[in-house]
């Protein structure tokens, strides 16, 4: 399918959809370094228009111009900025102006009337203002443009081969004139004895499974990316069996074997640079805070975050050896970016791009629920 991407960042969600076989036709982000990273990598296989700048200002232009400037697409995707919604933000509330950036999503929907909409946001969105915020967003989407039916679910990246505990709200909307024509990727669940329909993204990994993958997630996603660059088909069935759940990936599966030394200009590994922010004493009260908690080789990572101090240091998690903070490449691997996906900008800017991204392998599994050709979705 053809995809319009909002708040694209470095392209985690877009890359996942691309690897699943979809074509990005238009994208936007305001972060200069994120756009540079995006163009550096996507121009290798999927050249399309990327608008760098404030989406509010862009969408305030003449409607006729916008309809011509933005290609038609089957789906609009995006992870609208989440800082105001995040459970990490103890002062979150609807007065945070960043919360209203989702209104730009509504403008795009009204402008292009896509058949589908797929949005990602933090877990905190689900319970903010006792659920009123999520209900408001769903209601707004349902009444935008030609009208939509909206479903949502809370997914954890761990369940899709990502070595990271990262829970995210996924909102899925289908245009009403297509609702009765398509094979809906939804499941029926029961919440307080009331049936609800939610988006179906079948897990590939489980906390109860002890079955190891034939190849770790990073090597698989890198192979997928290399096939994409060479325009070759990739057969995922070589590594995963249908209807089989595998054990969670760990930090040992993900970053073990990378050079202990970082910030070496002669290192051939892309982005193996790290924050110079010192670690706090292990076992101290500060070491219990987000960004300072020790990590374990044989466990998965806590959530990789995009915010920190001016240097990006305090919220960059420690290396399992507790001798430094994770490098840019290490957190990129935890977010399942391919090894040959290059990040541009300062170390702090790279950390921010990665922390704000949707894990690529999770995005790939979401993208797989949609057929490459819309005709294949019809009943």
- Burial classification of residue 132, based on how many CB atoms lie within 10 Å of its CB (0-12 exposed, 13-18 middle, 19 or more buried): exposed
| Residue 218 to residue 351: CA distance in whole angstroms | 18
Degrees to nearest 5, angle at CA 182 with 176 and 186:
90
Q: Are 220 and 239 within 8 A, CB to CB? A: yes
Which residues form the catalytic set? 82
9 contact partners, CB below 8 Å, separation of at least 6: 29, 31, 34, 38, 79, 353, 356, 357
Neighbours of 192 (CB within 10 A): 5
DSSP state of 326: P
| Residue 337 to residue 327: CA distance in whole angstroms | 14
DSSP state of 342: P
| Residue 82 to residue 124: CA distance in whole angstroms | 9
DSSP state of 192: T
180 contact partners, CB below 8 Å, separation of at least 6: none
| Residue 5 to residue 114: CA distance in whole angstroms | 12
| Residue 155 to residue 304: CA distance in whole angstroms | 16
| Residue 126 to residue 147: CA distance in whole angstroms | 22
| Residue 276 to residue 313: CA distance in whole angstroms | 7
Q: Are 143 and 343 within 8 A, CB to CB? A: no
| Residue 308 to residue 179: CA distance in whole angstroms | 42
Q: How many C-alpha atoms does 276 have within 13 Å on its Cβ side?
A: 5
């Amino acid at each position: 399918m053809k995809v319009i991407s909002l708040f694209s960042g470095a392209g985690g969600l877009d890359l996942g959809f691309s690897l699943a076989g979809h074509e990005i036709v238009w994208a936007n982000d305001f972060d200069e370094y994120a756009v540079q990273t995006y163009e550096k990598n996507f121009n290798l296989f999927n050249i399309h228009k990327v608008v760098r700048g404030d989406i509010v200002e862009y969408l305030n232009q003449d409607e006729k111009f916008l309809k011509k400037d933005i290609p038609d697409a089957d789906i609009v995707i995006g992870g609208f900025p989440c800082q105001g919604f995040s459970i990490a933000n103890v002062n979150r509330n609807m007065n945070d102006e960043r919360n209203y950036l989702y209104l730009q999503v509504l403008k795009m929907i009204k402008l292009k009337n896509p058949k589908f909409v797929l949005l990602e946001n933090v877990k905190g969105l689900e319970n903010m203002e006792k659920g009123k915020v999520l209900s408001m967003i769903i209601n707004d989407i349902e009444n935008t443009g030609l009208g939509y039916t909206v479903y949502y679910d809370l997914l954890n990246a761990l369940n899709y081969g990502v070595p990271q505990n990262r829970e995210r709200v996924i909102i899925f909307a289908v245009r009403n004139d297509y609702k009765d024509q398509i094979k809906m990727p939804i499941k029926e669940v029961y919440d307080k004895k009331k049936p609800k329909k939610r988006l179906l993204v079948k897990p590939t990994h489980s906390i109860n499974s002890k079955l190891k993958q034939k190849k770790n997630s990073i090597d698989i996603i890198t192979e997928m990316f290399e096939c994409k660059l060479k325009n070759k088909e990739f057969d995922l069935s070589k590594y995963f069996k249908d209807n089989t759940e595998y054990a969670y990936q760990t930090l040992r599966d993900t970053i073990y074997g990378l050079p202990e030394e970082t910030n070496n200009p002669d290192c051939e590994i892309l982005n193996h640079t790290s924050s110079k922010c010192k670690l706090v004493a292990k076992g101290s009260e500060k070491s219990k805070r987000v960004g300072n908690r020790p990590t374990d080789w044989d466990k998965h990572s806590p959530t990789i975050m995009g915010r920190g101090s001016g240097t990006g240091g305090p919220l960059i998690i420690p290396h399992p050896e507790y001798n430094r903070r994770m490098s840019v490449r290490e957190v990129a691997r935890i977010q399942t970016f391919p090894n040959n996906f290059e990040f541009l900008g300062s170390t702090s800017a790279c950390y921010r791009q990665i922390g704000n991204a949707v894990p690529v392998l999770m995005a790939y599994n979401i993208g797989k629920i949609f057929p490459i050709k819309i005709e294949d979705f019809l009943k």
